[in-house]
Structure 1
Amino acid sequence: MSVLKITKENFEKEVMQSDKPILLDFWASWCGPCKMVGPVVEQVAVETAEVARVGKINVDEEQELAQAFKVMSIPTLVVMKEGKVVKSTVGVQSKQTLLSMLQ
């Protein structure tokens, strides 16, 4: 399973109605740390495909979503279950940290 591109148009369906926990990566193309964590996020998507979902939200394209989640710096990584934020972190994280956030 690849990483979902989350937009305000598909947010309700892909995130709020997800039957699995979802890791959201708030990022931007100009952000150095985002580029560092991007491949890690993709590895997590592959390794957790059976039990979780992973989505990326471009903060430049989806400013409303970034504001709704009060994203102040990127990368911001948020785990949601049943439509609620259960964990979040800011900055480059290890794969192990992201995997443990999804459990």
Structure 2
Amino acid sequence: MSQFSEIINQDKPVLIDFYAEWCGPCKMMSPILKEVKDNLGEAVSIIKIDVDKNQSLAAKYQVRGVPTLILFKESKQLWRQSGLVQKEDLIKIIKNHK
């Protein structure tokens, strides 16, 4: 948990993807996240967290459905959404929080 606190306490946006192996939409989100990372490079960190392996973390952030994307910066939650998010929308949201 303390490691997670360090991860989200960066001065650049950190996008956390709460996902599950058995989740179809989560599998569709992976290539979108890769494209976002390719597009934005070092301007953003993207971390995937398996809710089945990290249940306490998922509970702490009240993740009830997957995928749930949460954007943090300096430990503050800036944005969150459950379900699929399109690449262009995600890039725009991250750029708005630089």
Using the size of structure 1 for normalisation, the TM-score is: 0.85
Match of 2:6 among 9, 13, 22: 13
Aligned CA-pair RMSD: 1.2
Corresponding position of 1:41: 33
TM-superposed CA distance for 1:49, in Å, is 1.8
TM-superposed CA distance for 1:62, in Å, is 0.6
1:83 aligns with 2:75: yes
Percent pairwise identity: 37
Q: 3-state DSSP class of the match of 1:71?
A: coil
Question: Structure 2, unaligned stretches of length 5 or more?
Answer: none
Using the size of structure 2 for normalisation, the TM-score is: 0.89
Match of 1:74 among 48, 66, 76: 66
* One-letter amino acid of the structure 1 residue matched with residue 67 of structure 2: P
Corresponding position of 2:20: 28
Q: 3-state DSSP class of the match of 1:50?
A: helix
* One-letter amino acid of the structure 1 residue matched with residue 46 of structure 2: V
TM-superposed CA distance for 1:45, in Å, is 1.6
After TM superposition, what 4+ stretches of structure 1 lie above 6 angstroms from structure 2?
A: none
Question: Structure 1, unaligned stretches of length 5 or more?
Answer: 1-7
Distance 2:78 2:89 in 1: 14
Corresponding position of 1:92: 84
